[in-house]
Chains A and B, each alone.
Chain A
């Protein structure tokens, strides 16, 4: 044995991977029920005496309601209740607050403001009867002029959509600015070159496979209201219901059972939920509402719909001197999403965080239009997807204009590894990253140089190949509570851990899984911190009666915030167990050392006790003065956001005759810090990439000039199937987050956020010779064909009626 070799250890620490700790690709425990068809989703909830609700929606986008005649519906056998806005108004429930400090009609009273808006509802013995009765309701509408985009909304003579709001003299929701205007103007004046681009990020719908729904059950005897509902944030909804229904929180129980996906769609509070609550209170029976797909597609949770003008001030050698951006976002008739109140357009100003930009200025306006409430953070944290898309599209356009290789242009402008912590031009503090390395891993994987040669060869035969790069860093894990809140509720998260006598445990958190695998990964964090086998830890979420108060799961905040709380609560348990160990080992606490799963005496490593023995002692043999039991809870307020980084590279071939483009390869390099369960992380990335591909190629909801939603079913709203979805090649870089207890960052959304620009950039790269700077997503073959044949940019903005 040489001196440099480590001394042989007497360690009896457990093998972390074997017990399902950090880094184990542990098979998911939730799968055991899902593969047997034993998941328990909201539509599976059946309560004795339960009634069924259906909603009547407006067929037109903007109209005055002249009259509603419900007589025929009331007279149908099996109908128990027909509600209209007028009846809701008598109980002060016609309007409700949204999660963005706006108001939203529960049932329309005076006017309908978007197609699909809720006008009446029927509660009946079964859903078939309720649906029949909805059809029997007669509504007379007097149509009004329709506004479908910001240009129309801001026209001086535009009708005011929200005339219900006192003091609302136009259609503007907010007009916001951030950054340094003067400094930016100066930099632009001094620039060698200014690169300008205009784009529209189209309206898209998250479309989790399960629609929304709720079962409200008001029990007159106890005064307790239980609501089973599809929500990603049960505690926030409880707070909202307490405010709307004027019931105290402890009399409200929200249960969010298994969810069939969320992607931001299940964050807002929808009128349907509220109506089931009122109906259940009125009828004193459980009332179930399960949204149908067309209702889901036309009325809930739209994301994006942002118009952008962006400019880069550039030095000849490629250095970016400043960024200037203006966005107009279309939020529909009600500002209904959830977002931190301090940032009017979410975290859009996180744009360019991975580049070293001296100064920047952003102005942002949000407007009302005659569309369903939009602006939901669809698989991203608060408008970050738009931010990164615009960033990477602007980067590519600028590189092309300067004649600098797109990879090189990015590399020279990256924040360098030794520049952290780095203050972005909009004031965020990023803490770590290896941006250049991440890009290089991607370039090597796809053989960038090789592809460029292949592309040149192909061009000689008239074939169009393209390669697109997208690099991004994304702020994940809102809070900290100083800056982030929803409705004034500060953003932090929570975990509660109870270790039973034999060392088995139950963990509850304020987050809510929708398929991300919390039941598996949270137990792995406990295994990592305590050495309890992950199989011995059961995880429960989503019931406000049992789960600690938390902000729920969206914006990839589970691992950065709730995951941190899990680590912290486990550490509290370990601290108490150490006292028990000292007692059992009959030494002072300072002499006790910890290794995974076991405490031992420092001077005599053979003398030790397992964490399970400590757990037993907590209930059977505790030292004098120590409180019995081994349980704790932790509320974690993150010191900062986490900043995962990604680089996505896509190659495509475009058919110049048809505009059809095929994906050749997709390489993804993700740095999400320490990976708790690599298998689950990769699953998240692949799911995210598919959304990115969907957005760039087919998935969007548009409206005609009359405000009719084109895409109210999966025939018109195209989602990719297994057939067209490309395959993915995944790579990783690991830069642990310096302030997260286990070094993890978020991952669920990175690929959706960063991916779309890679696909679009690839197609634009292929079209370079045609002088085209932008084709708006989705890159439908007809748009690409138009760009090729007409040699101009193609806009995707909805049409404006000109014949009126």
Chain B
């Protein structure tokens, strides 16, 4: 196996079980041999070099490591990599299209929804899951949906505004599409 934390491939230590898994990450299938105890957050960060997923607590409290698994927000520090086998994972790197930003990314920038940026990927993914379910949320609904994600810099007000901005944008876009049909 390849130790995820080493540049040089190393043989698995004797007695260490390894499992082969395949995860669809941001639309691309990726295969890895992992120890069963490896966290999904570490597989993404070290194994797949997708460092946009941050870890701030490793205990399911801060939300910095939030990714989408089959579209639902999951704290990837609390999911084992093997549990993601066969599933679809979206990380912050998968938010933008090839040429343009996701409305949430635009919203966070426009409404000053971030300062140090450490919570931002998790916030945007939690918000994405909310908007998929509830495209036109109220401020309270946004606050509630983001209450599993801590931010120590912004005081949340601008984060909430950013999400509402994105919702408006996305609704506007779909309304336009609707009228064009």
| Interface residues of A, Cβ cutoff 8 Å to B | 27-28, 30-41, 43-44, 46, 48-50, 52, 77-78, 125-128, 206-211, 258-261, 263, 292-294, 514-517, 679-680, 682-684, 686-690, 713-715, 719, 721-723, 725, 727-728
Contact = CB atoms under 8 A, between A and B. Distances in A.
B59 A713 contact: yes
B3 A126 contact: yes
A230 to B, nearest CB: 11
Q: Which 9 A-B pairs have the closest CB atoms?
A: A37-B52, A34-B117, A515-B116, A260-B118, A37-B92, A714-B61, A515-B115, A126-B5, A686-B155
B149 interface: yes
A201 to B, nearest CB: 20
Given A35-B124, A125-B3, A728 B157 contact: yes
B105 A36 contact: yes
B121 interface: yes
A50 to B, nearest CB: 7
A44 B46 CA distance: 9
Contacts of A727: 157
Contacts of B91: 37
B157 A721 contact: no
Given A687-B154, A721-B149, A37 B51 contact: yes
Nearest to B8: A49
B76 interface: no
Contacts of A50: 5-7
Interface in B4-28: 4-8, 10, 13-14
Contacts, number: 195
Contact of B152 (A36, A127, A261): A261
B87 interface: no
Chain B interface main SS type = loop
Interface string B108-139: 11101011111111001000000000000000
Contact of A686 (B119, B148, B150, B158): B158
A208 B116 contact: yes
30 contacts: A31-B117, A35-B92, A35-B117, A35-B120, A36-B52, A36-B93, A36-B96, A38-B52, A39-B118, A48-B7, A49-B7, A125-B6, A127-B5, A128-B5, A209-B64, A210-B56, A260-B54, A260-B116, A261-B116, A293-B58, A679-B112, A683-B154, A687-B152, A689-B155, A690-B155, A713-B59, A714-B61, A714-B62, A722-B147, A722-B149
Given A36-B93, A728-B157, A721 B147 contact: yes
Given A37-B95, A721-B147, 15 more contacts: A36-B95, A39-B117, A77-B13, A126-B5, A209-B118, A260-B116, A261-B152, A515-B118, A686-B155, A687-B152, A690-B155, A714-B59, A722-B144, A725-B143, A727-B157
Interface residues of B, number: 65
B30 interface: no
A359 B95 CA distance: 61
A454 to B, nearest CB: 24
Contacts of B54: 41, 43, 209-210, 260
Given A30-B117, A722-B143, A725-B155, A37 B149 contact: no
Given A209-B56, A714-B57, A721-B148, A261 B153 contact: yes
Contacts of B88: none
Residue among A35, A258, A686 with most chain B CB within 10 A: A35
Interface in B42-60: 45-46, 50-59
Nearest to A513: B116
Given A43-B55, A260-B117, A722 B146 contact: yes
A444 B38 CA distance: 57
A214 to B, nearest CB: 16
A260 B56 contact: yes
Contacts of A689: 155
A35 to B, nearest CB: 4
Contact of B118 (A41, A48, A49, A690): A41
